Structure 1
Amino acid sequence: MGGSAVVVGGGIGGLAAAIGLRLIGWEVTVVERAEVLSDVGAGISLHANGIHALDALGLGEAVRAAARPQYTGGTRTPSGSWLARMDGAALARALGTPIVGIPRAELHRLLRAALPSECLRVGAEATDVEHTGTTRVRVSVDDGSLRSGLDANLEADLVVAADGVNSRLRGRLFPRHPGPVYSGSTVLRAITEQPVASRTDFELTWGRGAEFGHIAFRDGRAEWHAVLNSPPGVRHADALAAVRSRFADWHAPIPALLEATRPDAVLHHDIHELTTPLPAYTAGRVALLGDAAHAMTPHLGQGACQALEDAATLTAALATEPTVESALARYDAERRPRSQSVARAARRAGRMGQQLTHPLAVAARNTALRLAPSGVTVRAVLQHADWTPPAWG
């Protein structure tokens, strides 16, 4: 089965879906509202399930070559004492690949390179979607098309809505859904300008209502993120100075990471999630994917991995099912229970980790983590990262 598809959204999930569809013979147009297609994020950890999804899409080896495996690290207190250590080698043995750290921009570049430039339509915003018959879908596009000579509307056999947490298409398809809500946490993050010495590949540090984490990259630079309990909309005239003040007395290498960061490199975003699960990930011949379908908090590091799973699963369904309708029904049946379960687990992880503020609750959690057997951390990661892409090749 082949056909034509419009993918709305040129982020990690949207590009991965476009790659998968092209691999099985579909004609694809990616519509992205940004003028330049270059994911401006900081860094990302990809668990085994995300890597295996990339393997299915033919990009696993390229991503591994550009990334740094995460074998050492764990969770600490602000003073530097260990709460739990991560055995990355044990995870790699169990799952067939290690967790890896990579700049988001590099991952995005690798995804873009797998697509011909003519299928990417940037500076174009999808404003509406409607079915024009039993087998066709029309996407309304606002990009100054009358001036450019391009069609203002795109018709296809399938539309993939990968337009993020604030998805306009999700609102059109599910008008009664309340949409995303603020999680109670905000995140500041950046990539250091130069290499920073670190004894580990990955660390999280939990304080009261705050988390500081970092991942090391292949070139020695590092991504750091600070997640804070905060009212929504709070912004700082100097974001880097605010982070330095908040984490001034936290353990090394946190001060060195902040010292190696340019003030203009710090990104600041409030974290929103879909606490009300969608009743379906499909509507007619439209499939929702990634944050548009299941925006979750970052506390398990699974957001991008779940989007990659979506892309690999959608590809497999369309490659093996006899009709688009049956393929989308299978996609919904396979993806909705799993991704919504991961989203709930991420929310719980945040409440028991970064978001805890009461001293007694923090002390009880820290004691439980210190006393837990060494295999508990491995089993916790395996619970979500142990996933095999459906066969379609």
Structure 2
Amino acid sequence: MSDNSAVVVGGGIGGPAAAIGIRLAGWQVTVIERTPVPDDAGAGISLAANGLRALTTLGVGEAVEAASRRQYTGGTRTPDGRLLARMDGTALERELGAPILGIPRAALHRILRAALPADSLVIGAEVTSVDTTGPSRVRVAYGDTILDAGLVVAADGIGSRLRRQLFPAHPGPVYSGSTVLRAITAQPVAGLDADFEPTWGRGAEFGHIAFPDGRAEWHAVVNAPAGLRHPDPLAEVRRRFGGWHDPIPALLAATRPDAVLHHDVHELATPLPTYAAGRIALLGDAAHAMTPHLGQGACQALEDAVTLASALGAAPTVEAALVRYDAERRPRSQTVARDARRAGRMGQQLAHPLAVAARNTAIRLTPSGAMIRTILRHADWTPPRIAPARARP
């Protein structure tokens, strides 16, 4: 491989996005993903303005918008359907110049992978070692193949093997106290008027994200011991949430039992001291895995991808580029992760009846302008320009 060659370990969202950006910066890129099929294909995500701006910078924004449903309507409710706060998607779009989008995660995966040359994707292969072979090369081994590269991007998720190798003393991910069951409905759901709607109970949240074809992703997040599993996950969700307001019963009725995914929510509660070591950069969940309570996990990974590509195009050396990447991304992403943790503690995870009542009252009394400013703090981000890299050592 040439001097301007990179290996991206991980083919979820952040990895392919980084590969697209790095290619725009003039590099050759190989993406290695251990799973043949994304393991979270039954999930959906919301993309705030910062995520869409990153995707637009990478050249795939229009394709993503075409596969998404804009989130204009909805709001936060109580289990009996009482509205706590209305979501004004139109006002947010006016402030940010970009909509909030709901898209199946698998559709976003397909769009990102389609933007890369087919021969740059290695699917179903696990990286077994990453070793520095000199001041300017990193050796990556998978199966019987060995690649030498000038840059390695560790986008291998919350359980990142590369993060453990680089930071053996770091405690790694910890259980957040929340577990999530989720699925995409098998068919369109009648009466699904809200584009996006979370409902908060005591230590529990049920939300949905509507898609353009009338189907929806729903997610049920509850406080639970780590590792707890149910013989029939859909039956458990119906037991817990079936009596909540419409359209929750209809969403569950439109779901196949074998479509339900169940994952404990882990996070990097101890921040990493740096996102770069030598010629290895950490990105996405490998760098800053966060709880889902702000819906910013994917968006922060997309910000990482664009910022890394921009730094590679502008800096005189790879090492200088990674110093810049770390300086720009670590403070912001770790702040968002901390805010997500706090949002969960005051939102879904709050369980004491008096505390829940006080929170609900506070939300009802909060002016809509203040709510919008809170969202803007995380979603208002301007992507840097990606320019082709100069020849460098």
- So what's the TM-score if we normalise by structure 1? 0.96
- Residues 189-233 of structure 1 deviation map (CA, whole Å, 9 limit, x = unaligned): 000011112121100000000000001100000110000000011
Q: Is the Cα–Cα contact under 8 Å of residues 3 and 149 in structure 2 kept in the other structure?
A: no
Q: Does 1:163 align with 2:156?
A: yes
For residue 186 of structure 2, the aligned residue among 189, 193, 213 is: 193
Alignment correspondent of 1:386: 380
User: Aligned equivalents of 2:3 and 2:298: distance in 1?
Assistant: 26
| Mapped contact 1:2–1:24 kept (Cα < 8 A) | no
Counterpart residue number, 1:253: 247
In terms of mean alpha carbon deviation, does 368-377 or 1-10 score higher? 1-10
Could you say what secondary structure the match of 2:177 adopts? strand
Q: Give matches, 1:16-31, under 5 Å.
A: 16-31=17-32
1:315 maps to 2:316: no
Q: Tell me the secondary structure at the aligned position of residue 45 of structure 1.
A: strand
Distance 1:39 1:267, change over 3 A: closer
**2:97 aligned residue:** 96
Q: Which moved more, 1:258-267 or 1:22-31?
A: 22-31
The answer as to whether partners of 2:21 and 2:386 remain within 8 angstroms in 1 is: no
Alignment of 1:55-134 (within 5 A): 55-134=56-135
After superposing the two structures, state which structure 1 stretch, 193-202 or 158-167, moved more: 193-202
- Aligned partners of 1:375, 1:35: CA distance in 2, in Å? 45
- Give the aligned partner of residue 179 of structure 1: 172
SS at match of 1:208: coil
Distance 1:41 1:194 in 2: 13
Give the secondary-structure state (helix, strand or coil) at the position aligned to 1:83: strand
The partner residue of 2:336 within 333, 342, 358 is 342
Aligned partners of 2:175 and 2:267 also within 8 Å: yes
Q: 1:366 aligns with which of 360, 363, 369?
A: 360
Deviations 1:50-105 (A, max 9, x none): 00000110011110111000011110000000111111001001111110000000
**d(CA) in 2 for partners of 1:2 and 1:263?**
50
Residues of 2 paired with 1:302 and 1:271: CA distance?
14
**Partners of 1:213 and 1:277 in 2: how far apart?**
28
Structure 1: runs of 5+ lacking an equivalent: 146-150
State the alpha-carbon separation in 2 of the partners of residues 276 and 117 from structure 1.
37
Secondary structure of the residue aligned to 2:219 is strand
d(CA) in 1 for partners of 2:82, 2:201: 12
Equivalent position to 2:226, from 232, 239, 253: 232
Q: Percent identity?
A: 74
Count of matched residue positions in the alignment of Structure 1 and Structure 2: 385
Contact 2:42 2:184 in 1 (8 A): no
Q: Is the 8 A contact 1:189 1:223 kept in 2?
A: yes
- Matched residue, 1:304: 298
Distance 1:39 1:362 in 2: 31
8 Å Cα contact 1:19-1:114 kept in structure 2: yes
Deviations 1:167-191 (A, max 9, x none): 0000000101000000000000000
Q: Offset of 1:128 from its aligned partner?
A: 2.2
CA offsets 1:304-337 (integer angstroms, 9 cap, x no match): 0000000000010001111111110000000000
Per-residue deviation at 1:39? 5.2
User: Whole-Å Cα distance in 2 between the matches of residues 358 and 278 of structure 1?
Assistant: 33
> What residue number does 1:148 align with?
none
| Letter aligned with residue 309 of structure 1 | E
1:104-126 Cα distance to aligned partner (Å, 9 max, x none)? 00010000100111111111111
Q: CA deviation at 1:391?
A: 1.8
User: Gaps (5+ residues) in structure 2?
Assistant: 388-393
Q: Contact between 1:128 and 1:172, CA under 8 Å: does it hold in 2?
A: no
Task: Give the match's secondary structure for 1:132.
Answer: strand
Tell me the CA shift for residue 2 of structure 1. Answer: 6.9
Q: Which residue of 2 aligns with 1:49?
A: 50
Q: Do the aligned residues in 1 keep the contact of 2:173 with 2:268 (CA within 8 Å)? A: yes
Give CA deviations for 1:132-159 in whole Å, capped at 9, x if unaligned. 1000011222x3x3xxxxx2x2210000
Shift of 1:38: 7.3
8 Å CA contact retained: 1:74, 1:86? yes
| Contact 1:11–1:108 under 8 Å retained in 2 | yes
Q: Name the SS for the 1:349 alignment partner.
A: helix
CA RMSD in angstroms, aligned pairs only: 1.2
Q: Which range is displaced more, 357-366 or 24-33?
A: 24-33
Q: Tell me the amino acid that sits aligned with residue 68 of structure 2.
A: A
Residue aligning to 2:391:
none
Q: 1:127: Cα distance to partner?
A: 2.2
* TM-score, normalization by structure 2: 0.96
